[in-house]
Amino acid sequence: MLKPAEMIARLRRARRLVHEIHVGTDIPQIQSILRHADQNLHWALWNLGEIDELRPDLPGSVKPAARAKPKPGARKRAKKR
Amino acid sequence: MPRWEQHTAAARRSLFWNARMERMPRAELDALHLAKLRGLVAFVYERSPYYRRKFDERGLKPRHIATLDDYKRLVPLTDKQDFIRLQSERPPYGDTLALPFDLVAHHVETSGSTGLPLAIPLSAYDTERYGESWTYGFWAHGIRPEDSFYFAFNWGNFAGFWSCYYGARRMGCRVISGGGADSQGHIKNILRLKPTVLISTPTFALRLATVAKEMGVDLRDSSIRFTYHAGEPGPFALPAMKRQIDEAWGADSGELLGIAEIEAFAPGCPERDGVHVNEMNVFAWSMNPATGAEVGDGEVGENIITSYTNSAQPLLNYRSHDLVRSVGGCACGRTWRKLPGVVLGRTDFMVTVRGTNVYQTAVENLLGEHTGVSPFFQLVLEHADGNDRMTVEFEPDPAVARADWDALARAVGDRIHKALHVRLEVNPMAPGTLPRYDLKTKRIIDKRPKELRRELDR
Ligand SMILES: [Zn+2]
């Protein structure tokens, strides 16, 4: 079984993919379906206690992929903030 | 290759729709609430002219909300009347809308039982989330995707069971609309289409049972295995109602507490004696309606609700006017706050009769349990000689002989006196004379002049 953190990482990746296809097509039907899919992915994240924003269409909702592992020092700084 | 089933065998065995969240420790739930509430406050401040104005009047900024106490204390209470007024000034939604108009995907309304209906705009996402509250209750009740739903309900703009429909769709059940059918038509539809779940108001389930009997149909032999109710005090609020519905249908009755404009926010507990607040979808706390102060765990207070679901017309610290006793912890394992007995009364119908506080549901419970009393009764409130007076009008069961009505009324009066320490006038009425309701049975007939009601009762 996947751990919650693993589920969350995959759901976030799925949202990025969905978003990528949405902006990469001009077929209205496919765009509508993808928007629905993203809503459901957002809802899955919400029900894993991961998300606190009300709607998937708010600016910045689809998070960019995390970069390579942050250096230990960088992580500490981020926490302090 | 086997088909990709909706649920794995392990998932099907789960007693919970989402065990992790339904059993989340309180501290974690509260941390989640705080994060969500802060997000919600920022959302409404930026997007809803109504909330922006209310916050600015108080010099309140989203950054002032640092704790749950801040939220309860600083974010102004909202009330249905404000929304109705703003909507009637500038229909359909006034400046209560927080989303662009084109994102409103479903318009529904309250039943208007206390006056003008309140318009409820929902975005597509709002409808899905709203439905999910039902699904928690269905799953806990034993309903599974292979079940099928019969809605004994006339579909209009009334929010009522629309959200239940969204929930049944989420679970993937077959849904059958009973729209347009009369009581006999519903019975015939059930016999022909063989649904396993009946959705109706609790009193309508009893009415259908009466009609079926007249038709010579024994509903205990029907395909219905579960009944699920909302809209008025049901089986988890009134033990007598639970017994009557279970017996008439030979099924397990369930109940959900919802408020049209808020959410179907409190699905039933499998212990069948109350409901749990869906803490994924709403934040709720209890307030002393007279002082505005928060009441302690297990004390009766007004349920103040914030919805995370309705992003089109957000409701923050919304006064439900429902009196509840909210407790933490339950034998079923859920950590979500429980409301034993569901709604215990209304702030508007907690009347004081001869110095005693009388809650509508307390009287209803006693009447429902009393042998010889039919499900048709009402409580009439009047004001005489400087006092509020409550009269109970009930129809005796048709099996009770006319000569025994007065003795029955006296016995009912004694029972109420013994249990509630107040003597009420109890009048038997001829069977068939009290009004019947398809939706929202009206139990209270308030004849008191407005100016003589307490502030909360107006
Ligand atoms: Zn429970």
DSSP symbols for B275-329: EE--TTTEEEEEE-TTT-PBPPTTSEEEEEEEESS-SSS--SSEEEEEEEE-BS-
State residue B114's pLDDT score: 52
Q: Which two tokens stand for residue B94?
A: 């006034």
Please name which of B154, B150, B158, B43 lies closest in space to residue B106, comparing C-alpha atoms.
B158
Q: What is the pTM of this model?
A: 0.81
SS3 category, B235: coil
- Residue from B46, B125, B169, B308 to probe the interface with A (highest A Cβ count within 10 Å): B125
pLDDT at A75 over 60: no
Residue by residue, pLDDT tens for chain B (458 residues) are: 678 899 999 999 999 999 999 999 999 999 999 999 999 999 999 999 999 999 999 999 999 999 999 999 999 999 988 898 899 999 999 999 999 999 999 999 987 655 678 999 999 999 999 999 999 999 999 999 999 999 998 888 888 789 999 999 999 999 999 999 999 999 999 999 999 999 999 989 999 999 999 999 999 999 999 999 998 889 999 888 899 999 999 999 999 999 999 999 999 999 999 999 999 999 999 999 888 999 999 999 999 999 999 999 999 999 999 999 999 999 999 999 999 999 988 776 667 676 676 777 678 878 888 899 988 899 898 877 666 788 999 999 989 999 999 999 999 999 988 888 788 999 999 998 998 876 667 788 888 766 544 433 43
State residue B348's pLDDT score: 65
Backbone dihedral region of B372: left (phi > 0), alpha (psi from -120 to 50 degrees) or beta?
Answer: left
DSSP B115: S
Task: Please report residues of B whose CB lies closer than 8 A to that of A44.
Answer: none
Task: Please report residues of A whose CB lies closer than 8 A to that of B20.
Answer: 4, 48-49
Torsion sign, CA atoms B318, B295, B76, B347: positive
- Residue from A40, A51, A54 to probe the interface with B (highest B Cβ count within 10 Å): A54
DSSP B158: B
- On whether the B124-343 domain is CATH 3.40.50.12780, my answer is yes
Domain positions in chain B are: 124-343, 351-457
Query: Looking at the complex, does the CB of residue A18 fall below 8 Å from at least one CB of chain B?
Result: no
State residue B330's pLDDT score: 98
Query: Looking at the complex, does the CB of residue B124 fall below 8 Å from at least one CB of chain A?
Result: yes
State residue B244's pLDDT score: 92
Please return the burial class of B376, using the count of CB atoms within 10 Å of its CB with bins 0-12, 13-18 and 19+. Answer: buried
Please name which of A52, A55, A63 lies closest in space to residue A19, comparing C-alpha atoms.
A63
State residue B355's pLDDT score: 65
Cβ neighbour number for residue B338 with a 10 Å cutoff: 24
DSSP B267: P
Task: Please report residues of A whose CB lies closer than 8 A to that of B35.
Answer: 52
Spatial contact of B149 and B195, defined as CB atoms under 8 Å apart: yes
Average pLDDT over residues A42-68: 86
pLDDT in tens, B35-74: 999 999 999 999 999 999 999 999 999 999 999 999 999 9
State residue A51's pLDDT score: 80
B224 Cβ contact list (under 8 Å, min separation 6): B150, B190, B195, B196, B197, B198, B249, B250, B251
Query: Strand pairing of B174-177 and B119-123?
Result: unpaired
Structural element, H or E, at residue A71 = none
Residues around ligand 1, an ion, CB closer than 5 A: B 269, 330, 332, 334
B215 Cβ contact list (under 8 Å, min separation 6): B184, B187
A47·B40 Cβ contact <8 A: no
Query: Looking at the complex, does the CB of residue B30 fall below 8 Å from at least one CB of chain A?
Result: no
SS3 category, B451: helix
Query: Looking at the complex, does the CB of residue A31 fall below 8 Å from at least one CB of chain B?
Result: no
State residue A79's pLDDT score: 44
Please return the burial class of B175, using the count of CB atoms within 10 Å of its CB with bins 0-12, 13-18 and 19+. Answer: middle
Torsion sign, CA atoms B159, B240, B135, B26: positive
State residue B115's pLDDT score: 61
Domain range B351-457, CATH class: alpha beta
Q: Which residue of A has its CA nearest to B29?
A: A49
CA torsion angle B453 B455 B456 B457 (round to 10):
20
State residue B451's pLDDT score: 52
Q: What are phi and psi of B343, to 5 degrees?
A: -100, 125
CA distance B411 to B426: 9
pLDDT in tens, A6-47: 999 999 999 999 999 999 999 999 999 999 999 999 999 999
